Every structure is written in C-alpha cells, then in structure tokens.
Amino acid sequence: MIDQQLVAMAVERMGPECREAAQQEARQRGMTVGDVVMEECLGDIHSQLYALRHRKPRLEVLEGGRA
C-alpha cells in the first residue's frame, strides 16, 4: 500500500535533479512534493493494471525498477 510515509521515503531517496523537478511541479500546481510523487506512482500502477487487461498480459519495466 502506498501511504505518506512510503512517499516521504521515496522523496528522500530521489536524486537531486528528480527532486528539484518534483518540487518545481509541486510549486506550479500548488501541491506538495509528496502529492506529486504519489500521483506519479499511481499513474505507473494504473498503466500496469491496464496492461494486465490485454489478452496477452505484458508488464512494462520502469526505470530503476522491476516489472
């Protein structure tokens, strides 16, 4: 389950460039950095679930992650 603690840990582990990009997007959208990161995580999960609905399930490999 994705919760605020997990998101905070993800933000801490982000590289400086990624963190700055998330902070900039958060400022532009009036959100917290955690919300931006959580939204991105949920988008990745959504695309994976969508991929599983196809006749021939396929998983996408995420950068720095596993399928």
Stated length of the chain: 67
**Measuring CA to CA, which residue among 39, 18, 44, 41 is closest to residue 29?**
39
Burial of 40 (0-12, 13-18, 19+ CB in 10 A): middle
Ranges assigned E (strand) in 1-67:
none
pLDDT (tens digit per residue) in 1-25: 677 888 889 899 999 999 999 999 9
pLDDT tens, residue by residue, 21-40: 999 999 999 999 999 998 88
Say whether pLDDT at 58 is over 70.
no
CA–CA distance, 59 with 7 (Å, rounded to integer): 23
What are the residues whose beta carbons fall under 8 Å from the beta carbon of 38, sequence distance 6 or more?
Answer: 2, 7
